[in-house]
C-alpha cells in the first residue's frame, strides 16, 4: 500500500471514466485512518483481505478497481507512444510517468516526467525519444528542450537494451536529485527552480505563509 491519501492522480475509473478514485485500505483501521475515511480521502475495505483485492474506490460510481502496479492513464499513453508494454516501459524507464506541468515542446515532441519533484523527463517524437532533465517552468517561461539534447533512443532500445536505457535514465535522475534543496518550512525536497533562496523555502510555502509575519 502506498502512503498517499486522497484522489489518485492519473487513476481513471474504468466504470465511469472519472479521475476521482481514492485508495482502498484493508485491515483494522486506527484513529487516523478513520478520520481520513470520514473526510473521503481513503475507503476502508474491512479486516478480511478478500482474494481479489482492489487498490482503489471511485467516489463517483463506487466501483472498487485496480492495482497499485497498473499503469496510470499517462503511463498507458507513454507506453502506447513508444509502442511497448507497460512492464517493458517500467523495466527500462521506471514508473510514475505523468504529463502534469509539462507543455509539449516544439516539433510536436510530447513530454512526460517522473519523480517527486520531477527527476527525469522523456520526450517522444515519432519513433524516437530522448531523456532529459525536467524543468517544471518550461511551459510558462521557456520552450521545451529540443530533441537534440540527448541521444535519440527507440523502441528497440527499450525492448532489447533496457539496462542501458535504465543507466542513462538514472544518471540524469541522480544528477537532478543532487540539485534539490530542502524547504525549511515543509521540509520537503524542492526543485531548484521552485526554491526561494532568500526565504530558504519552496515557492508553495512562501506564498502560503506570506502573511504569517504580519
Ligand atoms: Zn467511477
Ligand atoms: Zn515548502
pLDDT of residue 106: 65
Q: pTM to 2 decimals?
A: 0.75
Question: Average of pLDDT values for 11-31?
Answer: 89
Ligand nearest to the CA of 204: 2
pLDDT of residue 61: 95
Q: Cell triple for residue 206? A: 512562501
Question: Average of pLDDT values for 19-42?
Answer: 90
Q: Nearest 5°: phi and psi at 194?
A: -120, 25
pLDDT of residue 58: 95
Question: What is the domain partition of the chain in residue ranges?
Answer: 1-70, 73-177, 180-214
State how far the Cα of 179 lies from the Cα of 191, in Å rounded to an integer: 7
pLDDT of residue 109: 83
Q: Cell triple for residue 210? A: 506570506
- Specify the pairing of strand 64-65 against strand 128-132: unpaired
Count the Cβ atoms, other than its own, within 10 Å of residue 4. 12
DSSP 148-175: GGS--EEHHHHHH-HHHHHHHHHHHHHH
Ligand nearest to the CA of 194: 2
Location of C-alpha cell 491519501:
5
The alpha carbon of 206 and the centre of ligand 2 are apart by a number of angstroms equal to 7
Answer yes or no: is pLDDT of 144 > 60.
no
The alpha carbon of 187 and the centre of ligand 2 are apart by a number of angstroms equal to 6
pLDDT, tens only, 92-117: 999 989 986 566 666 778 889 999 88
The alpha carbon of 186 and the centre of ligand 1 are apart by a number of angstroms equal to 33
Of 17, 13, 71, 72, the C-alpha closest to 43 is 13
Answer yes or no: is pLDDT of 10 > 50.
yes
Question: Average of pLDDT values for 18-41?
Answer: 90
pLDDT of residue 9: 85
Amino acid at each position: 500500500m502506498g502512503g498517499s491519501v486522497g484522489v489518485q492522480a492519473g487513476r481513471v475509473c474504468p466504470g465511469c471514466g472519472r479521475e476521482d478514485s481514492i485508495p482502498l485500505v484493508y485491515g483494522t483501521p486506527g484513529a487516523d485512518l478513520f478520520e481520513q475515511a470520514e473526510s473521503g480521502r481513503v475507503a476502508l475495505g474491512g479486516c478480511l483481505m478478500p482474494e481479489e483485492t482492489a487498490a482503489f474506490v471511485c467516489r463517483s460510481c463506487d466501483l472498487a478497481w485496480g492495482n497499485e502496479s497498473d499503469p496510470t492513464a499517462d503511463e498507458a499513453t507513454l507506453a502506447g507512444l513508444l509502442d511497448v508494454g507497460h512492464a517493458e516501459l517500467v523495466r527500462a524507464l521506471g514508473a510514475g510517468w505523468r504529463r502534469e506541468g509539462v507543455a509539449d515542446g516544439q516539433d510536436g515532441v510530447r513530454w512526460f516526467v517522473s519523480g517527486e519533484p520531477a527527476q527525469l523527463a522523456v520526450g517522444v517524437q515519432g519513433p524516437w525519444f530522448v531523456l532529459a532533465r525536467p524543468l517544471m517552468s518550461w511551459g510558462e517561461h521557456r520552450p521545451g528542450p529540443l530533441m537534440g539534447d540527448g541521444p535519440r533512443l527507440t523502441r528497440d532500445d527499450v525492448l532489447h537494451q533496457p539496462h542501458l536505457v535504465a543507466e542513462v535514465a538514472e544518471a540524469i535522475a541522480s544528477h537532478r536529485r543532487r540539485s534539490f534543496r530542502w524547504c525549511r518550512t515543509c521540509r520537503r525536497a524542492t526543485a531548484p527552480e521552485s526554491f526561494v533562496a532568500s526565504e530558504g523555502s519552496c515557492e508553495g510555502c512562501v506564498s502560503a505563509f506570506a502573511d504569517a509575519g504580519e
